[in-house]
Structure 1
C-alpha cells in the first residue's frame, strides 16, 4: 500500500531516475534508510518496474518518428496486438485504447519509404482493417 511519501518518491524518480537516495530523503523529509526501504518495497511489489533512459531522438538519431492508428477486426486482445508488433523492430511502443482507434503504434523509421514498409507490414497481419499514420514533427514529455 502506497502513501503520499511513496508518491513523492516516485515523482522524484520520474524526474531523474539517477537521483541519489540521500537527495530523495532530504526532499521527502526522511533519512536515507527508510527511503531505501520504501524504494526496495516499490520495486518488489512491481510499482516501480524498471529504470530507463529517455533519449531525444531528434538530436541522437536520424530518421523520423510516427504514430500509427490501428483499427482491428473483432475483439483483439493486447497480447495479439503485441504478438505482431513485437516482430517489427521499428515499432517502439503500442498503446491499446477504448474507442476508435483500437491501438496506437509508435514507429521509428529511417525515412518515409521505410515508414511505408513498416505500415504495410502492420496492415498485412490479417487482423488490421485500417490505419492512419501521423508523422511526429516534435515532442514534449513532462518527464523528459
Structure 2
C-alpha cells in the first residue's frame, strides 16, 4: 500500500459510490488506474465490502448507550463475543483495559427496548454487573472499517 492507496480508501470511506474518474481527479490517476487499484485492494482483502449506512433514527434505532461490562472471574473474549452476539441491540463491543472487562455500544428504538436488551446482557452467565451511559447527542462519528 502506498499513499495513493490510502487516499483512495479515504475517499471511498466518505462515499463508497464515488466514481473511479472522480477519485482519479483527486489522486491524480486515470479512472482505469483507480479501478485496478480498487480491484487489487479488494483481492488483497484490504477492502472487505462496499456497504450503506442507514440513519439509525430512520431505521428505528435512535436510542444508544455505551455499557461497561463487568464479569465474575476470568471470561475469555470468545465467550463474551458469544454472549453479546446473541443480542441484536449490540452494534459494537470490545475488551478493554481498566476495571471493566468490555465496553459495549448498543442501539435500540427507545428506552424500554434498551432496558430489555441490557437485562439480557446482565443475566448472561459470568456477567456480574454493568454500568451504562445513554448518549444524549452524537458529536463526531467516524467509521474506521
TM-score, normalization: structure 2? 0.85
Deviation at 1:15, TM superposition (A): 0.9
Alignment pair present for 1:141 and 2:141 = yes
Q: Provide runs of 4+ in structure 1 moved above 6 Å.
A: none
Map 1:116-131 to 2 at 5 A.
Answer: 116-131=115-130
Report how many residues are paired. Answer: 142
Map 1:18-33 to 2 at 5 A.
Answer: 18-33=17-32
**Deviation string, structure 1 residues 72-102 (Cα, Å, up to 9, x no partner):** 2344343222211111112122122233322
Cα distance in 2 for partners of 1:8, 1:62 equals 32
Deviation at 1:142, TM superposition (A): 3.9
**Deviation string, structure 1 residues 91-125 (Cα, Å, up to 9, x no partner):** 12212223332222222223222222211111111
Task: Provide the aligned C-alpha RMSD in A.
Answer: 2.0
Which structure 1 residue ranges, 5 or more long, are not aligned?
none
Which structure 2 residue ranges, 5 or more long, are not aligned?
none
Deviation at 1:55, TM superposition (A): 2.7
Which position in structure 2 is the counterpart of 1:34? Answer: 33
Shift in alpha-carbon separation, 1:74–1:38, aligned structure 2, 3 A: farther
Deviation at 1:26, TM superposition (A): 1.2
TM-score, normalization: structure 1? 0.85
